[in-house]
Structure 1
Amino acid sequence: MNHLVRQGALAAEPVPASSTRQDTSAPAAFPTGAAPTTPAPAESLTAREQAVFTLLRANPGRLYTRADILERVWGLEFSGDERVVDAYVNRIRRKLEGGDGTRIETVRGAGYRCVPPAGSERTAWPHRSQLPAEAMHLLELVSAYGAEASPAAILQVVMDNMGSVPGLDGAALLRLPTHGAPEVLAAAGAPPAHWPGAITDSPAVWIAAGGTPDLLTLRSPAGAPVPALLLPVTAAGAGLALAFTGQPGAEWDAGVQASLSSAARLIGGSLTRALDVQADRQAHQLLLEQVRVLEDRALKARQDSGALLTLTHLLEDARSVPDILNVSLPVLAELAGTDACAAWFPQASGPASAALHRTGLPVNTPADQDGGAGDQAESGVLTVEIGEQTLRLRPFGTRTPGSPDPAGPREASLLLPAAARCVALALTQATLLRALERSALTDEYTGLGNRQAFLADLHAEVAFAARHGARFAVTLVDLGNIRYLNATSGYAGGNDLISRLARTLRTVTRAEDRAYRLNGATFALLLRFPPPEPAGHAAQDQAVRGWQDRLGAALTHLKQGAPVPLDLQTSLVVCPEDAASTSELLRMALDHLSPFQFSAALPEADGHPSPLPRTRPA
């Protein structure tokens, strides 16, 4: 298929009529003004061949790829095989044999470039023979540097190869503004650090007019006269000038000025190209830095968003305040760019509720981070409102002052306030849930557990006893004549007796025991007993008797201090001896409610009748 495309492209090429007129529309072979000794035989080249040859010859030494040639000669609409360029180059080579010596060189795998005939570079400088030897050598050195040389390196070449100039001390490339002092773009040797602002009356006009070389006289720091020659860099067209300065006391005649002017003309184009390359490199480096900064920010944003997402997932499973702080403080420290984070909840003036490292390990809060009143307005402290309470979150570093951080300074994430609000919301929900549970499981009047709390705890105790062989007792206490008391003493008097009974039961229960108000004037107690002993139940029986004694004494004291007679009924059921299920324990406790036998004093020895009715299994 490629062969057919090449044939079609060659066949489509028009063959112009023979003519002795040379093509004058083609640009000069060399931009310096030199023309080849023998022009190309335009009458032997087609229009397309002439365009290819003109493109290559206009920039000798420049490498063109096949794609470049196709785009410049055939145009962007060409959709054939790029190998057609090879056929055209081969035809141009055959037709140019024996011409001016210009040849087209193939760079394998890259493209083509035009190589001027030997000696043609001398025609580019018609006055080359009149240049000093130093200038000719300078031209060769500067040309050898190519586009990779910096302006300072080119000026240093000038300084190293202008030995015939007496007292040459420095060279500088200046940018001349319309007003103000010149800007030193590059320098070599020892030029003055600052140039006077009024070097010329109008620098812009001076440059635009070609700039007649001006020999200036500056002053050294010691006050000695210093010669300085200011020369325009006309190739730049951007207000650039080349300045040479001599040593204090040096005198430059017309010959020295001519030599320096020739050097300036020789290196003007190289300085301009080097300046452009340097600007491109700086712009490229700046662009790379900006891209690197944006990439770092994007990476940090992804990490921060991932940390925030992880925090939301962790908060979903956390139910209590300690759990929420344990999962959130390490994430907050990471988002804040610090090592650890502390939380003060609910009182900001007290000790920290928790302080955790980014790894999740607990750390000590520093002395200057104790949350005292003196640093309430310290930057970096996050204050969030949780209902009527205030939570303070403070990220801090755990490294000792002055020790370097191997990770370097870290910037706080913009998502830190959002993360703090998520933590505050989770804590608010946990606080409200705990308050709701407390209100749902607590009797509002007495502060004891209600019927729901009693049933839930009774189920748990039954399951625990069945698994571990433990024993516990259920005691019911009922004030049977509460309606009579309400009728005779009023509801205020009845409620007062219920409150006194609740306080009495609370005083006789131990830390592991729990008291509940089931309804009206009916109360229940869950009592844990020691684990059974292999030798027998002596310890358990002693515990039961001890509880009966304490409760009997308390109820007797309550009856004696009551303003009206009390009809108290009690029962005692032991699990698993009397019953082993929740329903059976409740049924037996209710069935065995019987009047409480008041006694004037506590029983003093074993064998006394128990004031609490006790059921026995059949």
Structure 2
Amino acid sequence: MNHSVRQEEPTASPASVTPTPPVPAPPGIPAGAGAAETGSLTAREQAVFDLLRVNPGRLYTRAEILERVWGLEFSGDERVVDAYVNRIRRKLEGAGGDAPLIETVRGAGYRCAPGVGGGRRAWPHLSQLPAEAQELLSLVSAYGSEASPGAILQVLLDNMGRVPNLSRAALLNVTPPVPEVLAAAGTVDGRDGPTLHVPLPAQPGVTVAFTGLPGAEWDAGTRAYLRGAARLVGGSLLRALDLQAERRAYQRLREQVQVLEDRALRSRQDSAALLSLTHLLEGARGVPDILNVSLPVLAELAGTDACAAWFPHAGGPPGVAVHRTGLPLGMPDPDRFTPDVPGPDTPGVLSVEIGEQTLRLLPFSVADAPAPPVTGQEASALLPAAARCVALALSQATLLRALERSALTDEYTGLGNRQAFLADLHAEVAFAARHGARFAVTLVDLGNIRYLNATAGYAGGNDLISRLARTLRAVTRAEDRAYRLNGATFALLLRFPSQEGAPEAAGDPAVRGWQERLGGALSHLRRGAPVPLDLHTSLVVCPEDAAGTSDLFRLALDRLSPAQWPDQPPEQQPEQPHAPTPATVRPPLNPGLNDGDGE
């Protein structure tokens, strides 16, 4: 700022400076006022003063003065205008001037006083107006462009002291069927007093209405005075009314822009949430895991605190509710939510089809949530798309689970098949090695299955195999597992408690208890069979007998021997149900053999 001023007035020797002729005093200013004290104006000062005096009474902001005098390329401080105005005042007004040539409107800018410049175009008869009117004009003008219609009316009321019992001034629009109050000042009394309407010629249908207290009487002179005062401030009122309408329109525009920005931000957030949901679903395995990672995202898209999910059909997975923070919650209040009652038309319930099943989703809000409740947020348009993504992930998980069950389950008995047995045996060996646990492998083989097929038919053989599978399933505990390795050979994995000293199998109470339980079940099966059964069993304990998958399986095959029954001594061997023939001698069972007997 100071640099531009110094460039304009460089110091030089008196010989090199051409004297600037004195500027003629403006009309209304005594010639030579202040000239002896401050000297003539510079070119930039003259430009600023000419801009202000061309339109006396017009308010110029600092930015407008900089744009018109300094140009658009100016990038300095706006306060340079203040310095130039102060120098112009010192040079032209002098110490003995009366009213200032350039008026300052606080917070707005500068303007030349009416009557300064080329003629008295702003108020040609200002000197002929009464003192009260001149004071009223000065007070109204002091508000500048920031005045509201109500503030101008209040100034008008405050300076109408000669009107008796004047209580209210209002700006009315009488065009509609019912008059509309655009602005008002003063007090409102329920009782009616004298009223005077002064139409404003510049705006048809708009009037200034003066209201007096009840009982007041206004003569013709008072009414003329009110009409003159209303017309004096009419232009300011209309200008302030236009500015007020512009501010309101601007505010509405700002609000609309804010709404659009909020929607754009919400769209970006929802898109990010949907993208995050797809990544979470890629790493989820199984129905519970999918619901735990997807329900918080669905609650966020729905604009609620939590989301519940359930399968309405009988026997489906249990319902689950998760807060948007990821914490599990109880299902909603039974009074407003029952898993079997809400249908697809229930408000707030989303229904998605998963194959032949239906999943219901219910976003809801809770008062005792672990985080502040979400309020004032609408559901996202992406919520149905997110629900479909969850349904697709659940469908894939369900199909994958069905394929796994089909690949690892024996179709005829419902037990695990050979692949499931080998996978679980490998996992048990790793678990025992890591944690020092113990488990046992038991094989049960029906040796004369071919004889049974030949005598009782394949239907009778299949029936005995099914009964043997049910017997083994009934004799195992919840942590034990049973498998069908091939046509007539079954395997069981049994977890035993750890014991110190690795006792022999004969002295292990867990082993003895299992042998007694299995022997009793097989004895019951044998007594109810239509033909004699040639059952062989074996037992191998890990890690006492072997510690590897192949060693355990091979040793269990080698130890296959006729089953011992509870009602016979251990040293007594059971009688053969029939003489061994080539059709009934069973070949050794290899790990890769599947003879398919009984099918």
Q: What is the aligned counterpart of 1:384 among 352, 365, 385?
A: 352
Name the CA distance, whole Å, in 2 between partners of 1:380 and 1:134. Answer: 69
Deviates further, 446-455 or 313-322: 313-322
Deviates further, 254-263 or 124-133: 124-133
- Where does 1:353-392 land on structure 2 (aligned, <5 Å)? 353-359=319-325, 360-363=327-330, 365-371=332-338, 375-376=342-343, 377-392=345-360
- Against the structure 1 CA distance between its residues 433 and 540, is the aligned structure 2 distance closer, same or farther, given a 3 Å change threshold? farther
C-alpha displacement at 1:444, in angstroms?
A: 0.5
Name the CA distance, whole Å, in 2 between partners of 1:119 and 1:507. Answer: 114
- Against the structure 1 CA distance between its residues 266 and 500, is the aligned structure 2 distance closer, same or farther, given a 3 Å change threshold? same
Deviates further, 246-255 or 423-432: 246-255
Residues 126 and 134 in structure 2, CA contact (< 8 A), matched pair in contact too? yes
Q: What is the aligned counterpart of 1:294 among 237, 260, 273?
A: 260
Q: Deviations over 1:283-316 (max 9, x none)?
A: 2332333333334434444443333333333333
Residues 470 and 532 in structure 1, CA contact (< 8 A), matched pair in contact too? no
- Which residue of the partner structure matches residue 150 of structure 2? 152
Name the CA distance, whole Å, in 2 between partners of 1:262 and 1:512. Answer: 103
Structure 1 segments unaligned to the other structure (5+ residues): 7-28, 30-34, 39-47, 79-84, 194-219, 613-618
Residues 552 and 602 in structure 1, CA contact (< 8 A), matched pair in contact too? no
Confirm or deny that 1:455 pairs with 2:455.
no
Q: What is the aligned counterpart of 1:183 among 168, 180, 191?
A: 180
Name the CA distance, whole Å, in 2 between partners of 1:507 and 1:373. Answer: 33
SS of residue paired to 2:552 = helix
- Which residue of the partner structure matches residue 489 of structure 1? 456
C-alpha displacement at 1:240, in angstroms?
A: 2.2
C-alpha displacement at 1:379, in angstroms?
A: 1.7
C-alpha displacement at 1:456, in angstroms?
A: 0.5
- Which residue of the partner structure matches residue 478 of structure 2? 511
C-alpha displacement at 1:268, in angstroms?
A: 1.2
Residues 56 and 122 in structure 2, CA contact (< 8 A), matched pair in contact too? no
Residues 450 and 518 in structure 1, CA contact (< 8 A), matched pair in contact too? yes
Residues 233 and 240 in structure 1, CA contact (< 8 A), matched pair in contact too? yes
- Which residue of the partner structure matches residue 542 of structure 2? 575
- Against the structure 1 CA distance between its residues 102 and 71, is the aligned structure 2 distance closer, same or farther, given a 3 Å change threshold? farther
- Which residue of the partner structure matches residue 281 of structure 1? 247
SS of residue paired to 1:368 = coil
- Which residue of the partner structure matches residue 141 of structure 1? 139
- Against the structure 1 CA distance between its residues 68 and 244, is the aligned structure 2 distance closer, same or farther, given a 3 Å change threshold? closer
Name the CA distance, whole Å, in 2 between partners of 1:611 and 1:433. Answer: 47
C-alpha displacement at 1:451, in angstroms?
A: 0.5
- Against the structure 1 CA distance between its residues 608 and 509, is the aligned structure 2 distance closer, same or farther, given a 3 Å change threshold? farther
- Where does 1:261-410 land on structure 2 (aligned, <5 Å)? 261-345=227-311, 347=313, 353-359=319-325, 360-363=327-330, 365-371=332-338, 375-376=342-343, 377-399=345-367, 408-410=375-377
Name the CA distance, whole Å, in 2 between partners of 1:127 and 1:118. Answer: 10
SS of residue paired to 1:355 = strand
Q: What is the aligned counterpart of 1:602 among 567, 581, 596?
A: 567
Counterpart AA for 1:444? E
- Against the structure 1 CA distance between its residues 518 and 123, is the aligned structure 2 distance closer, same or farther, given a 3 Å change threshold? closer
C-alpha displacement at 1:454, in angstroms?
A: 0.5
Counterpart AA for 2:351? T
- Against the structure 1 CA distance between its residues 286 and 533, is the aligned structure 2 distance closer, same or farther, given a 3 Å change threshold? same
Name the CA distance, whole Å, in 2 between partners of 1:565 and 1:74. Answer: 119
- Which residue of the partner structure matches residue 171 of structure 2? 173
C-alpha displacement at 1:71, in angstroms?
A: 6.8
C-alpha displacement at 1:102, in angstroms?
A: 13
Q: Deviations over 1:392-417 (max 9, x none)?
A: 2223332179xxx7764443333333
Q: Share of identical aligned residues, percent?
A: 69
Q: Deviations over 1:41-97 (max 9, x none)?
A: xxxxxxx9999876443323657689857976999999xxxxxx9xxx9xx99xx99
Name the CA distance, whole Å, in 1 between partners of 2:503 and 2:348. Answer: 65
Residues 349 and 360 in structure 2, CA contact (< 8 A), matched pair in contact too? yes
- Which residue of the partner structure matches residue 397 of structure 2? 430
Name the CA distance, whole Å, in 2 between partners of 1:573 and 1:490. Answer: 34
- Which residue of the partner structure matches residue 237 of structure 1? 203
C-alpha displacement at 1:452, in angstroms?
A: 0.5
Counterpart AA for 1:170? R
- Which residue of the partner structure matches residue 55 of structure 2? 59
SS of residue paired to 1:163 = coil
Name the CA distance, whole Å, in 2 between partners of 1:77 and 1:505. Answer: 96
Counterpart AA for 1:602? D
Residues 530 and 540 in structure 1, CA contact (< 8 A), matched pair in contact too? no
C-alpha displacement at 1:111, in angstroms?
A: 13
Counterpart AA for 2:335? D
C-alpha displacement at 1:382, in angstroms?
A: 2.2
Structure 2 segments unaligned to the other structure (5+ residues): 9-25, 31-43, 75-80, 576-599
- Where does 1:32-47 land on structure 2 (aligned, <5 Å)? none
Q: What is the aligned counterpart of 1:252 among 218, 221, 224?
A: 218
Name the CA distance, whole Å, in 1 between partners of 2:476 and 2:93. Answer: 121
SS of residue paired to 1:367 = coil
TM-score, length-scaled by structure 1: 0.71
